[in-house]
Amino acid sequence: MRKTLPVISTGPTAGSGSCSTAATAPAARPGLPRWRRRGLRIALVRHHDLCLNTRQITQIQKRAGVLPHLGLGYIHTALKTAGFHNVIQVDTPALGLDAEGLRRLLADFAPDLVGVSTTTPGLPGAVEACQVAKSTGAKVILGGPHTEVYARENLHHDCIDYVGVGEGITIMPELAEALEQGDRPDGIRGLVSRESDGGAAPMVNLEEVGWPERGGLPMDRYYSIMAPRPFATMISSRGCPFKCSFCFKQAVDKKSMYRSPEDVVGEMTELKKRWGVKEIMFYDDVFTLHRGRVREICALIGEQGLKVRWEAPTRVDLVPEPLLKAMAGAGCVRLRFGIEHGDPEILRRMRKESDIAKIEKAVTSAHEAGIKGFGYFIVGWLDESREQFRRTIDLACRIPLDYASFYTATPLPGTPLHTESVAAGRIPKDYWDKFVRGEFDSRIGYLVPDAQHRAQAAYRAFFLRRTMVKPLLGHMAATGQWRNTLDGLRSLARSTSNTDRDF
């Protein structure tokens, strides 16, 4: 059941951190009353990332699908709860809009405030969206995981008025309230402007916010090569205590938050009844981190007779066999494992806290429980030898995986991998600094010279083997993703490049 939504208060808490040494604790602002209906017009935008630094190869990325942006959905819900009802979400990848299409849409809506979300590699597209939004006369705020590392630096771009650091769910209602009242938006936790620095806004419990707003989204335009249509995405928990060296951690990731089984199953039920969803993809960091809660979710699904397919991400050391059986019985059809590599030494350097034996046991146990396995791998790691690379392919093809993704190692800012890559002289220390200032013309260097070819070879070795014919046919029959899957396979078979991006 949904909880009664409390007033969202974004005043500072003692001992809280900030994104900058210049940040000072802002003065507390009162919680937002719920009874007023405000007139500010707000657009929340996810734009094409125009990404040079994608870790995925082109043939797969183009056909992988377009998934809803849950973060903007939660911000939309928070704004509605605060009395802002003139709010739209604009998802240009789903709508098929380029910059000019976005400009026309925003000009027609005439927003007072536009929020744009981005990752660091996706910044070129976000800046384009901010330029478009600014041309309509709106105030523009940039948010998303990117701003945890680079906050004030984004103000180099004249089209950006504010930067939101941390929890946009609390930042946006307060900023909207200040603009509605004609006040200077000073003292807002997590808001950075040219005049002030509000540090970072802390995580809130999503259950207290309410389910992400999906009304008005082009739900029929979302698809995944992995799922039948219509499908949807959800988050049932937040945070990850592990410290993999390639993974960027936001401030909101540093502690864990869990929604109750009743709230999770309630949203699953609404997705099935209202939207006719056939499969739900959970986008938690680690779905099975709290195993007792997962057992309760599975039991509640059974008690309510909910029939819907679902999948979730997890780790190989967090899936005991009894839990796998419960998940399979509750509709789990697929688990996404962050396996990452087949070489023990590189796994140690990745700080995975895993080993080959655990990987083999987890994937095999899931397979025996009737749950398909999806393995994520990273190739082209710093100083990865050909033999180490071959061990990754051998592992992927040896264990009973039905699907696999092979990413090229990309040292993102704020990660240990980035620090190590700079120290090894593989990448310039200031690459991302220049990138944030708008030097978008070159990709960051690969950590081994033939990294892109290794990713290509890994995909071919995994998918273009005879033993994959039956799993792939079964997948296409179950999901209806015949065209995307076959097109992807044909591209893998004939392509020699995985870096060109076709928009």
φ, ψ dihedrals at 85, nearest 5°: -110, -10
Which H or E element spans position 258? strand 257-258
Give the model's pLDDT for residue 440: 81
Q: What band does 484 get if pLDDT is binned at 50, 70 and 90?
A: confident
Shared domain for 360 and 281, answered yes or no, is yes
19 or 53, higher pLDDT: 53
Shared domain for 477 and 341, answered yes or no, is yes
| Mean pLDDT score across all residues of the chain | 88
Shared domain for 135 and 265, answered yes or no, is no
Asked if the structure places residue 425 within a domain, the reply is no
> Residue 350 is encoded by which pair of tokens?
């990745």
| Token pair 């930042």: residue | 171
In whole angstroms, give the CA distance from residue 168 to residue 144: 8
Question: Which of 144, 175, 192 is where one domain is finished?
Answer: 192
Shared domain for 179 and 316, answered yes or no, is no
- The mean pLDDT of 113-124, rounded to a whole number, is 94
Q: What band does 4 get if pLDDT is binned at 50, 70 and 90?
A: very low
Give the model's pLDDT for residue 488: 82
Determine contact, residues 427/444, Cβ cutoff 8 Å. Answer: yes
- Of 502, 477, 447, 438, the C-alpha closest to 150 is 438
Instruction: Express as a percent the part of the chain with pLDDT over 70.
Output: 87
Looking only at Cα atoms, what is the longest distance across the chain?
66
Given a cut of 50, is residue 64 above it in pLDDT?
Answer: yes
Determine contact, residues 414/148, Cβ cutoff 8 Å. Answer: yes
Question: Which of 192, 217, 251 is where one domain is finished?
Answer: 192
Shared domain for 246 and 104, answered yes or no, is no
Shared domain for 465 and 359, answered yes or no, is yes
**Overall number of domains in the chain:** 2
The letter for the amino acid at 261 is: P
- The mean pLDDT of 131-150, rounded to a whole number, is 96
- The mean pLDDT of 130-151, rounded to a whole number, is 96
Q: What band does 181 get if pLDDT is binned at 50, 70 and 90?
A: very high
Give the model's pLDDT for residue 441: 82
Instruction: Express as a percent the part of the chain with pLDDT over 90.
Output: 80
- Listing DSSP states for 63-110 in one string gives HHEE---HHHHHHHHHHHHTTB--EEEEEHHHHT--HHHHHHHHHHH-
Per-residue pLDDT reduced to its tens digit, 293-304: 999 999 999 999
Shared domain for 288 and 170, answered yes or no, is no
- The mean pLDDT of 56-69, rounded to a whole number, is 67
- The mean pLDDT of 50-56, rounded to a whole number, is 57
**Host domain of residue 405:** 226-409+446-494
Give the model's pLDDT for residue 53: 58
Given a cut of 60, is residue 45 above it in pLDDT?
Answer: yes
Given a cut of 60, is residue 30 above it in pLDDT?
Answer: no
In whole angstroms, give the CA distance from residue 121 to residue 271: 31
Asked if the structure places residue 415 within a domain, the reply is no
Asked if the structure places residue 156 within a domain, the reply is yes
Asked if the structure places residue 248 within a domain, the reply is yes
CATH of the domain at 110: 3.40.50.280
Q: What band does 90 get if pLDDT is binned at 50, 70 and 90?
A: very high
Given a cut of 50, is residue 125 above it in pLDDT?
Answer: yes
Per-residue pLDDT reduced to its tens digit, 367-412: 999 999 999 999 999 999 999 999 999 999 999 999 999 999 999 9
Question: Which of 173, 192, 211 is where one domain is finished?
Answer: 192
Shared domain for 332 and 250, answered yes or no, is yes
Give the model's pLDDT for residue 255: 80
| Token pair 């709230």: residue | 263
CATH of the domain at 366: 3.80.30.20
Shared domain for 258 and 152, answered yes or no, is no
Determine contact, residues 228/278, Cβ cutoff 8 Å. Answer: yes
- The mean pLDDT of 186-200, rounded to a whole number, is 95
- Of 173, 207, 43, the C-alpha closest to 117 is 43
In whole angstroms, give the CA distance from residue 105 to residue 48: 15
Asked if the structure places residue 255 within a domain, the reply is yes
502 or 43, higher pLDDT: 43
Give the model's pLDDT for residue 491: 79
Q: What does the DSSP 8-state code read for residue 5?
A: P
Shared domain for 146 and 263, answered yes or no, is no
Give the model's pLDDT for residue 213: 98
Edge-to-edge strand ranges of the sheet holding 162-164: 87-91, 42-46, 113-117, 139-143, 162-164, 191-192
